[in-house]
Amino acid sequence: MITIKTFTFNAYSENTYILFDETKDCVIIDAGMYEGSEQNELTTYIKENGLKPVLLLNTHCHLDHVFGNKFVFDTYGLKPQFNIGELPILQAVPSYAPQMGFGRYELSPEPEVFLPETGTISFGNSTLELIFAPGHSPAHLCFYSKQDRFLIGGDVLFYGSIGRTDLPGGNHQQLIQNISDKLFVLPDETKVYPGHGPATTIGFEKEHNPFF
C-alpha cells in the first residue's frame, strides 16, 4: 500500500508529494522546494521515516514544479523523469524565473530517462500507471495507482476547477477533452491529489466541477 505525504511549497503554494510503500523506497513528485526551510522540511521527513528516494518525477515542468529538482539531484543523485515534450518548458525556466521574482532558481538537471505517454513506472512493491493529459502544458503526465485508488494529477484537475491554459503550450479544448476521456473514466472514488489546493475525487468533480 502506498502512503502519500503532501508538502505545500514556494510562493505558488505548489503541492510536492512523497510516495512510499512498505519497502521504504520513495518517489518525489514535483519537487517545488525553493527556500532552505522547505528543503529542510523535505529531507527531515525522508530521514525521520527511514525512506530511500529512488525516483524524481515531474508531472510537467512549469517553474513552481521544478524549483527543487536541482536540490534533489544534489542530495539524492536523482535526475528528473518526465515526458520529452516538457523539455522545452524546463529549458525556458531560467529565462523567465527572474522576471517572476525568482532570481535564485537553481538550474534543473535534464533527464537521462524520459517517460512515455502510456505505460507504468515502479518503485518498491508498487506500480503507477502513466496518463498523458496535455492541455495545461504540452506533455503533462498524471500518475495513477489503480490498487490504491488515487491520482497524482498535477495541474490538470483541481477541486472545483481545472488547470489554466493561457501559458505557452496550453490548449483549453485539449485539456477539457483529456479530463473527460482519461480522468473521468476512472472510478468515482479515485482520490485526486492536485498540483495546488486540496485533494478531491473523480466522482465529486464529475458532479460539481463548473467546467463540465
At 77-99, the pLDDT tens digits run 999 999 999 999 999 999 999 99
Q: Is the confidence at residue 104, as pLDDT, over 90?
A: no
pLDDT at position 33, please? 97
Share of the chain above pLDDT 90, in %: 97
Tell me how many degrees the CA angle 56-58-61 measures, rounded to the nearest 5.
135
Range 53-61 average pLDDT:
98
Range 189-211 average pLDDT:
98
Range 18-46 average pLDDT:
98
Which cell goes with 54? 529512488
Q: Which of 56, 81, 77, 201 is nearest to 139 (CA)?
A: 81
Mean of pLDDT over the chain: 97
Q: Tell me the pTM.
A: 0.97
At 59-76, the pLDDT tens digits run 999 999 999 999 999 999
DSSP string, the chain: --EEEEEEETTTTEEEEEEE-TT-EEEEES----SHHHHHHHHHHHHHTT-EEEEEE-S---HHHHTTHHHHHHHH-PPEE--GGGHHHHHHHHHHTGGGT-TTPPPPPPPSS---SEEEEEETTEEEEEEE--SSSTT-EEEEETTTTEEEEETSEETTEE----STT--HHHHHHHIIIIITTS-TT-EEEESBS--EEHHHHHHH-TT-
pLDDT at position 103, please? 87
Range 155-183 average pLDDT:
97
Range 31-42 average pLDDT:
98
Cβ burial 108-120 (10 Å sphere, 16+ → b, else e): bbebeeebeeeee
Topology of domain 3-208, per CATH? Metallo-beta-lactamase; Chain A (3.60.15)
* Alpha-carbon gap, residue 209 to 161, rounded angstroms: 6
Q: Is the confidence at residue 25, as pLDDT, over 90?
A: yes
